[in-house]
């Protein structure tokens, strides 16, 4: 349980270094199951989702060793985990399916619980595993997969990030060539492909809609540093656009943040790039139209933080959430702070420019929680963000410290 106390104050000033990406680290942890060798990550972000994923691969037989900022993982022996609880903690637990199946010829996962932002099925993951030769049965809340894998051509009805990653990992050890059509192009998919290639996999086309994997006999250990977290960086950019100021973000890759940076500039915040980072300056001035899309479109994970920016800018903004069916959980909480937002299905209309009022609000999911902290930076009075499920710590490394380091008044009250 975490409670954050936020007060508005001076505009944000200073600089921050962005951490390695949660959504790149989690598939890399799963990839460690593909080899008996040692996979070393020089800087592994200290997130509860990372710890949960490490506990899960350890339950599958992997050795996980934290050495300061670094982490070493190896899986000489594998066994299917029998702890459903571990697998329900994070949606990314489905990512052990591909590696287990490829290495062991067997995998067992729990039916993934949905989560606050939507049903989040894994039908496309299973479609891919079946095409690769897996026999799939469901029993007592578990999904069991077994069989020797062979190459296949797999069309993804949706460019699913997780399904692309899972199938890519399974195909690295399959007998023959696999082609994934309508693959996700997210930078985290490209990063995973780079990690797998360092481990000896043969992968072409990651980052495009068509990814080709030629199976090999075995993978070996490697050292791989996951990419910086473009969503953490984007959240801090939105903090400036909402609360004002001028900050320097080090260790970001602006080329992976184009959609967000263009929309912030259209809204009146200035963004300048320098080698290895970004300078973001000034409150947004104008309303915006945001449509979330798969990469390289506007990221769905940035929708909630960007909506706080829209609340602060005079005029009518329109948001269309095309990826998840229930990703406006922050709206009722922002409304408690005086925001003027109407939601119809996947469309939200924001009448911005009214000063938000501090209030007691509750964090419904990870990105909404971050958005509520940003809202508190712009509100009159004190905002108390209750996070009983610890959502914020799943995806941000001590976000309150990062914001405080930029001059914000954000305190964590355990």
- How far is the C-alpha of 294 from the C-alpha of 184, rounded, in Å? 7
Residue 166 touches ligand EPZ, criterion: CB under 6 A: no
* Interacting residues of 205 by C-beta distance below 8 A, sequence separation 6+: 183, 211, 212
Residue 212 touches ligand EPZ, criterion: CB under 6 A: no
Which of the stretches 10-18, 160-168, 262-270, 276-284 binds ligand EPZ when contact is defined by CB under 6 A?
Answer: 160-168
Helix (H, G, I), strand (E, B) or coil at 117: coil
Sheet holding 270-274, edge to edge: 12-17, 245-250, 277-281, 270-274
* Interacting residues of 87 by C-beta distance below 8 A, sequence separation 6+: 56, 81, 93, 96, 109, 110, 112
CB of 189 to ligand EPZ, least distance (A): 9
x/- mask, ligand EPZ, residues 232-271, rule CB under 6 A, reads: ----------------------------------------
Residues 321-340 that bind ligand EPZ (CB under 6 A): 323-324
Residue 160 touches ligand EPZ, criterion: CB under 6 A: yes
CB of 272 to ligand EPZ, least distance (A): 27
Indicate the residue among 90 and 225 with the shorter CB distance to ligand EPZ.
90
Indicate the residue among 120 and 220 with the shorter CB distance to ligand EPZ.
120
x/- mask, ligand EPZ, residues 6-35, rule CB under 6 A, reads: ----------------xx--x---------
Q: Among candidates 3, 269, 34, which has minimal Cα distance to 149?
A: 34
Which of the stretches 72-80, 117-125, 213-221, 404-412 binds ligand EPZ when contact is defined by CB under 6 A?
Answer: 117-125
Indicate the residue among 121 and 282 with the shorter CB distance to ligand EPZ.
121
Annotated catalytic residue, options 54, 60, 115, 311: 115
User: Closest-CB residue for ligand EPZ?
Assistant: 162
Q: Is 319 exposed, middle or buried (0-12, 13-18, 19+ CB in 10 A)?
A: buried
CB of 99 to ligand EPZ, least distance (A): 15
Please confirm, yes or no, whether 238 is among the known catalytic residues.
Answer: no
Count of residues touching ligand EPZ (by CB under 6 A) = 27
List Cα–Cα distances, 128 to 113, 134, 168, 259, 340, in angstroms. Answer: 20, 9, 9, 30, 43
Residue 364 touches ligand EPZ, criterion: CB under 6 A: no
Indicate the residue among 263 and 283 with the shorter CB distance to ligand EPZ.
263
Instruction: Confirm if 201 and 172 have CB atoms less than 8 A apart.
Output: yes
Among 42, 113, 121, 207, binds ligand EPZ (CB under 6 A): 121
For residue 259, give both structure tokens: 């959609």
Q: Which residue has the tokens 């067997």?
A: 106
Q: Among candidates 239, 315, 298, which has minimal Cα distance to 263?
A: 298
Q: Is 388 exposed, middle or buried (0-12, 13-18, 19+ CB in 10 A)?
A: exposed
**Is the bond leading into 296 cis (omega within 30 degrees of zero)?**
yes
Among 45, 81, 133, 162, binds ligand EPZ (CB under 6 A): 162
Q: Which residues bind ligand EPZ (CB under 6 A)?
A: 22-23, 26, 91-92, 118-125, 158, 160-163, 184, 188, 300-301, 323-324, 366-367, 395
Catalytic residue annotation: 115
């Amino acid at each position: 349980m975490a409670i954050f106390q936020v007060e508005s104050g001076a505009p944000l000033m200073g600089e921050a270094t962005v951490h390695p990406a949660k959504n790149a680290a989690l598939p890399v942890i799963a990839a460690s199951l593909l080899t008996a060798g040692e996979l070393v990550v020089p800087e592994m972000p200290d997130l509860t989702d990372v710890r949960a994923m490490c506990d899960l691969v350890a339950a599958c037989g992997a050795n996980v060793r934290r050495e300061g900022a670094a982490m070493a993982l190896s899986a000489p022996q594998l066994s299917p985990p029998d702890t459903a609880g571990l697998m329900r903690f994070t949606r990314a637990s489905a990512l052990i399916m591909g590696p287990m199946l490829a290495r062991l010829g067997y995998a067992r996962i729990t039916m993934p619980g949905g989560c606050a932002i939507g049903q989040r099925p894994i039908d496309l993951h299973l479609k891919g595993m079946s095409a690769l030769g897996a026999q799939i049965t469901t029993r007592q809340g578990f999904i069991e997969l077994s069989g020797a894998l062979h190459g296949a051509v797999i069309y993804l009805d949706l460019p699913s990030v997780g399904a692309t990653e899972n199938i890519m990992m399974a195909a690295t050890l399959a007998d023959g060539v696999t082609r994934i059509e309508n693959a996700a192009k997210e930078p985290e998919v490209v990063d995973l492909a780079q990690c797998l290639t360092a481990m000896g996999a043969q992968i072409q086309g990651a980052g495009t809609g068509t990814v080709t994997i030629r199976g090999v006999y075995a993978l070996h250990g490697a050292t791989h540093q996951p990419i910086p977290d473009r969503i953490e960086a984007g959240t801090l950019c939105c903090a400036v656009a909402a609360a004002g100021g001028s900050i320097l973000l080090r260790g970001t890759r602006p080329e992976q943040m184009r959609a967000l940076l263009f929309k912030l500039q259209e809204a009146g915040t200035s963004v300048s790039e320098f080698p290895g980072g970004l300078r973001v300056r000034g409150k947004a001035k104008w309303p915006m139209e945001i449509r979330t899309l798969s990469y390289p479109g506007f990221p769905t994970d940035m929708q909630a933080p960007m909506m706080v920016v829209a609340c602060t800018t005079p005029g009518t903004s329109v948001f269309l959430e095309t990826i998840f069916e229930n990703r406006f959980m922050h709206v009722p909480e922002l409304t408690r702070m005086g925001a003027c937002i109407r939601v119809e299905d996947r469309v939200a209309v924001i009448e911005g420019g009214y000063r938000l009022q501090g209030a007691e609000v509750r964090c419904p999911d990870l990105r909404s929680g971050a958005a509520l902290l940003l809202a508190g930076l712009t509100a009159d009075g004190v905002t108390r963000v209750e996070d009983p499920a610890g959502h914020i710590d799943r995806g941000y490394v001590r976000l309150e410290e990062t914001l405080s380091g930029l001059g914000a008044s954000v305190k964590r009250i355990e």
